[in-house]
Amino acid sequence: MATSQIETVSTGADKAKLALSVVLAVGAIVAFYLLARQGAIAQWAALLVGLAAAVGAFASSENGRQLWAFGRDSWREVKKVVWPSRKETIQMTAYVFAFVAVMSLFLWLTDKTLEWVFFDLILGWRK
């Protein structure tokens, strides 16, 4: 059974809003550098106002509304997560450290055993 997803077609107005938001963001960055002689307050004000306008233009587009809905749904899902307690976290961390210690000991013993078998017994290089 095939499921088809409905995809909304961007209208000309949506494309214009997206283009406007890009132009506003680039304009804000350009204004920040062009206003270097005016002082830091003018620079930052121009940057923040331009970026706020760009965000506003983007938020009014269909893509902006979809992004906002995605963020809202994601936040709702994060609230459903059951986080481990401090005790559980410490126990799991201890298990991981113990496993790493046992595994490193096992790999070291395997390496030394293979070294002994190949170099001492088979090749006779160490005497």
pLDDT of residue 12: 86
- Percentage of the chain lying above the pLDDT 70 cut: 91
Lookup result for tokens 């096992």: 106
Summarised one tens digit per residue, pLDDT across range 81-91 is 999 999 999 99
Query: Is-above-0.75 flag for pTM?
Result: no
Long-range contacts of 49-57 (CB under 8 A, 24+ apart): 50/24, 50/25, 51/24, 51/25, 53/24, 53/28, 54/20, 54/21, 54/22, 54/24, 54/25, 54/28, 55/21, 57/17, 57/18, 57/20, 57/21, 57/24
Summarised one tens digit per residue, pLDDT across range 31-60 is 999 999 999 999 999 999 999 999 999 999
